[in-house]
Amino acid sequence: KITFLAILILGVHSSYDCHQYSIGEFGSRPTGGQCGLSDWTANMTIIDTSVCTGETVCRNNQTIQFSGEIGLYYWEDIYCCAPLGNLEDYSDGLPGTKCKSNGDCLSKNCQNGLCKGYGKGKNFTCYYENDIYNSYCSYLCSPGFFAKGFGFYDALSKCVEQYKEKESCKFTYQCENDHVCANRTCAKMFSFKNGEKIEIDYYYGINYGMSFDCESFYYDHHTGKCAEPPKSKNGQAAKCKKDEDCITTDGDHTFCECGLSGERHCTLAEGDDYFVEMGKLMKEWVNSGKIKNCNTVARFDPVCVAMNMDKNFSDRFYKYLTLGYHYAFIKDADDELVKIYAPRYYSISNSNLVTVAYALISFLLA
């Protein structure tokens, strides 16, 4: 271990292409339970896990809006906080998720431990700056509904039933949860075959980096057709120096990004193994029918998945969601850093290793 002061001195006299992360010790401990300090002049972050005592652990407590699933906000200082709970118990405020009080819910309505959203015909005031699609207002609607604006400048909203197959639409969130808006009508997810030309909803149709319209999970923007997804020519998350090093089989490239290892790796292409596995799990989730239990805008929310599927599935869903989007960030990183910055992924991956180890031991002893 080395002290924070020593790392800063080294950092000032070094020229790192990527931000560096180190487990060390603080010379003098900061107040407020801060266990991770970033210095952008030195281009380094030092983490002292010994700062956290009692029931707290040093982990990334910066999470993305609502689901909090993969909050790799590595540019923020981090603090000691409680260990992660079960994903299905996470309160993201959406209708149908767990709550303890009205304040836990976006709708400010907690009933019987669950957030209750607005139902059919409920008029309410909802204003989000630049929300030209009225999608954020739909976060307040119960599953099976979406928010439709009306009145002067759509100042008022009301929850209406989602559109069914072949009904006209503008955006995917207007369609039932296992449908997308394609060619301006609601169509079954993953129902378009390679070579079919379609007009997709860019707001949601290629969310998560894949196409929910295409059977192959990939939509070629150049041709406007579903197609076989490209793969990384140099393997998943290969080391790189620039984007052009991340060449894909279609002649394009992904992106060369810095990660926890302190080096650059290529982000995944849509045809890479982890990305394909993620697509298969999303399709399984859609086909289960339980996707209809979720709020329309959060139909792939890992919290809703965990509440409606068994633990084995929800763990795999979360794991490959992380690998699909963040493998370049965690590849070749020290396990302790992965544990701190991607704690849920780390927990799931290690529990899987333990399960495999027990199975192997049982087989050998049989």
Span 230-277, pLDDT tens digits: 999 999 999 999 999 999 999 999 999 999 999 999 999 999 999 999
Indicate whether 109 pLDDT > 60. Answer: yes
From start to end of 121-280, where are the E strands?
Answer: 123-125, 145-150, 156-161, 179-182, 185-188, 219-220, 225-226, 256-258, 264-266
Give the bridge partners for 37, in sequence order.
46
**Three-state SS annotation for 213-226:** CECCCCEECCCCEE
Long-range CB contacts (within 8 A, 24+) of 352-357: 352/315, 352/319
Going from the C-alpha of 353 to that of each of 96, 312, 342, 347, the distances in angstroms are: 32, 13, 17, 10
Name the percent of the chain in helix, strand, coil, to the closest 5.
Answer: 30, 20, 50
State residue 72's pLDDT score: 57
Residue bearing the bigger pLDDT, 15 or 247? 247
Distance CA 114, CA 122 (A): 19
Indicate whether 70 pLDDT > 80. Answer: no
* pLDDT band for position 207 (cuts 50, 70, 90): low
Weakest mean pLDDT among 85-89, 164-168, 211-215 = 85-89
* pLDDT band for position 47 (cuts 50, 70, 90): very high
Indicate whether 354 pLDDT > 50. Answer: no
Distance CA 248, CA 254 (A): 7
Indicate whether 353 pLDDT > 70. Answer: no
Going from the C-alpha of 134 to that of each of 41, 131, 254, 256, 301, the distances in angstroms are: 41, 5, 31, 34, 19
User: Averaging pLDDT over each range in 16-25, 86-95, 203-212, 301-310, which range is the top one?
Assistant: 301-310
Nearest to 17, CA basis, from 341, 244, 258: 258
Residue bearing the bigger pLDDT, 5 or 185? 185
pTM of this structure: 0.84
Going from the C-alpha of 310 to that of each of 101, 150, 198, 205, 301, the distances in angstroms are: 26, 40, 35, 27, 15
- What the block records as the tokens of 196 is 């079919």
- What the block records as the tokens of 212 is 């929910």
Helices (H) and strands (E) in the chain, counts: 6, 16
Indicate whether 28 pLDDT > 90. Answer: no
* pLDDT band for position 68 (cuts 50, 70, 90): very low
Weakest mean pLDDT among 58-62, 183-187, 245-249 = 58-62
